[in-house]
Amino acid sequence: MSRSAEYRAKLRKVMADLRIDAFLVPHEDRFLSEYTSPRNARLGFITGFTGSAGLALISARYTDLFTDGRYTIQSRIQCPDAEFRHHNFSGDSIRKVLAELGDGGKIKTIGYDPEVHSWSWITGFGEFLETHGITLVPVKENPVDGIWDSRPADAKKSVIIYDDRLNGESAEEKIASAGRVLRSEGLDCFFVSDAESVNWLLNIRGDDIPCLPVVQCFAVIYSTNQVDLFVDNSKVPLPDFTRHTGPQVNLYEFSNMREILGRLGHDSFRVGADPSVTSAAVIRSLLDAGARVITRSNPLERMKAIKNSTEIEGERTAHLRDAVAMCRFLSWLDRTAEAAREKDSTVSEATIADQMYKFRSEQANFVELSFPTISALGPNSAICHYDYSTSEQPRILGKDGIYLVDSGSHYLEGTTDITRTVKVGDVTDDVREMFTRVLKGNIDLALAIFPEGTSGIQLDAIARRPLWEVGADFMHGTGHGVGHLLSVHEGPQCISSRRSTEPLAAGMITSDEPGYYREDAFGIRCENLLLTVPKTGYERSMLGFEVLTLVPFDTRLIKPGILDRREIDWLNAYHAKVLETVKPSLSDVESSWLLQATAPIKE
């Protein structure tokens, strides 16, 4: 029996004591973020699944595990026990499973921790479950914590004062802007559960979570330009913090939050909150205290997503630093792959990732990786979010035709995210065709020109069309927003066939990453980051993209006859810019590699 299976057995005993038939374990913690601290990675602890999106329903006999399309293969590999039943992570799928359990009389009560589920999820599913004879039961203490005997401790690193010269706008200015928005909407205050938004607002950062440079916190923003900040006060460097944020920021411990929420209710405040990212516990506290809760999206999210000129210049600097590191890495990889083909190699997916980290860490103002590196050879590249660190034996270089690397960094000036699929051995004509079609979709999206007010759902098909033409597709979004030394996955904008109705605006940064995956064979993804910019010379207001990423695509994988003249011209111009911009920072050997990698291609 695996360790996670032992813990699930213990959890089932606790469930029996609580008289609940099943218990919900989401990936999220009380901050409802994609990224959780090691201390709060409950889903990984209880199931063994390490992906960034998932939900487990643990009942007496089975564990129903729900993941999205990125983790379909990974979840089956990491959770092979017979008790697991694997499902696609969508509302319809969850409803179907729960309805069958309820209608069959197998489950009458489902326990949940109201701190780690959003208000909209709990209220929506609660009403649905009642129609199928199931009652959601809140628990006072999460039973997973009670059986976690080696639970990691909370991080205790200090809040980082993020210099205003890198932000382009002071915390006082941002707070004043937020106050104006609240007054215009008739709100007395807004509860911000998103730590990234609070860090952006106050121009602070932290080191609470690997790859996410934020301090975990909550805030109440008032229309009077005051802010109540809930944070571990021992992390706050006084008096520097007050000088940086201004006197309008009031510090409270997390333990004071219920008291402050009660005060808002006592004063009958009109409190804004985003029900999709605010916990059921917080909104229930507000309602019980008498507050008038107005559900709406977090106004800071769009403000944060539209980068100002200082942030944009910082992002360009960060991407240049990253391009130098990536070109050095790809040059090294080519030489290493050639050597591996001539004799047995000990270079593995892990070794390759370590070498890339070395090149990045040598760049000025490097902070940390922006997410764990996806370093995948051969069939492992078909696992969209493959994690070599969980593999019993990372794959060795020299036996496969392609290598996929999806990686990124945080620099003081900004955040990067890039995917390249690279030829490291012999490849089939089929691989070349699918690579070229993925690249074609990437280029077509980069070339898009569209009216102001266009959202990601309208652009998504552009990147998929070359794959659709041959009956193929990919089961993830085409693009996500990217923060400024914040989360590499940022909203509200995205480019996807669902949940992407937020209009793109000048200053937003979005990834462009179509892909193709064939299980047990190969996977392909081509990703650049795009800055949305105004396009002039048209009869109406139009937008387009500036490509921030400056790293060549592997033209050795291109199959002739698929890219059209316009796409070839774009690729050649892109590679010419990469050569001009990056070459001065490379060694002679690396420059020689870059000259070959960026050589113009013909039809």
How large is the average pLDDT for residues 490-511?
Answer: 93
How large is the average pLDDT for residues 517-534?
Answer: 97
Distance between CA atoms of residues 489 and 477, nearest Å: 12
For the chain, what is the largest distance between any 2 Cα atoms, rounded to a whole number of angstroms? 76
pLDDT of 392 above 80:
no
pLDDT of 140 above 80:
yes
Both tokens of residue 464? 């998929």
Sequence-ordered list of residues with C-beta below 8 angstroms from that of 17, at least 6 positions apart, any chain = none
Q: Cα angle at 193 between 478 and 8, to 5 degrees?
A: 80
b/e map 232-263, b = 16+ CB within 10 Å: beebbeeeebeebbbebbebbeeeebeebbbe
If you ran DSSP here, which 8-state letter would residue 171 be given? H
pTM of the predicted model, to two decimals? 0.91
Range name among 260-269, 434-443, 501-510 with the lowest pLDDT average: 260-269
For 19-41, write each residue's pLDDT tens digit: 999 999 999 999 988 888 889 99
pLDDT at 391: 77
Both tokens of residue 448? 């898009």
Pairing of strands 54-59, 22-26: antiparallel
How large is the average pLDDT for residues 437-449?
Answer: 98
pLDDT at 61: 85
pLDDT at 328: 98
pLDDT of 316 above 80:
yes
How large is the average pLDDT for residues 478-501?
Answer: 93
- The answer to whether residues 591 and 468 touch, using CB atoms and an 8 Å cutoff, is no
pLDDT of 1 above 70:
no
- The answer to whether residues 295 and 274 touch, using CB atoms and an 8 Å cutoff, is yes
Q: Cα angle at 602 between 600 and 603, to 5 degrees?
A: 150
How large is the average pLDDT for residues 103-111?
Answer: 82
pLDDT at 103: 66
pLDDT at 95: 79
- The answer to whether residues 531 and 505 touch, using CB atoms and an 8 Å cutoff, is no
Both tokens of residue 519? 């299980």
- The answer to whether residues 29 and 37 touch, using CB atoms and an 8 Å cutoff, is yes
Distance between CA atoms of residues 426 and 122, nearest Å: 51
Domains of the chain are 3-147 (3.40.350.10), 160-305 (3.40.350.10), 309-597 (3.90.230.10)
Among 257, 313, 309, which Cα is nearest to 284's?
257
pLDDT at 560: 95
For 225-241, write each residue's pLDDT tens digit: 999 999 999 999 999 99
